[in-house]
Structure 1
Amino acid sequence: MTNTFHTVTVERAAEAYVLSRGKARFLSIAQAIRAIRTLMPACRATDRELEEMLAAACITHRVPVAFDATAADGEGPRLHS
């Protein structure tokens, strides 16, 4: 018996997360980043890079998105959808 493990890229994880939230009212960027960092603790992507990947996947799959992550410069959350 052979077990095959597929490599999960950050991009695939972001898209899978977006698809899993397709029926929700909106996708929280902050919550999505936390989930990806939990799933992939060695992820080297910055929060901003993850935010961009998640936003692109949301646009592609027509999932409403809340940009609620705190900015790196200490500003409060950006709440645009």
Structure 2
Amino acid sequence: MTNSFRTITVEKAAEAYVLSRGRTRFLSIAQAILAIRTLMPACKATDRELEELVAAASFVHGVPVAFDARRAKAPRLHS
């Protein structure tokens, strides 16, 4: 048996996140960025670039957006 995984791009991750939210009241850019960074920790895109990708995907799929990325803070991990 062969296991193979498709490579996911940042654009596809942004679109998948938008689609996973379904018909919500609005989509939080801050939460989307955090989710993408969690899924793709080695992502070299800036928060601004991720914001643009998520906003574009949201527009295409008719999902309202809350541009709240400046208030986003990654959770602190305590050891």
The TM-score with structure 1 as length reference comes to 0.84
What are structure 2's unaligned runs of at least 5 residues?
A: 73-79
Higher helix share: 2
In the alignment of these two chains, the number of paired residues is 72
- Residue 22 of structure 1 and its aligned partner are, at CA, apart by 2.2
Distance in 2 between the 1:2 and 1:30 partners? 37
Amino acid at match of 2:26: F
The equivalent residue for 2:63 is 63
The equivalent residue for 2:51 is 51
What are structure 1's unaligned runs of at least 5 residues?
A: 71-75
Q: Whose relative contact order is higher, 1 or 2, with alpha carbons under 8 Å and at least 6 apart?
A: 2
Aligned-residue CA RMSD (Å): 1.3
Identity %: 76
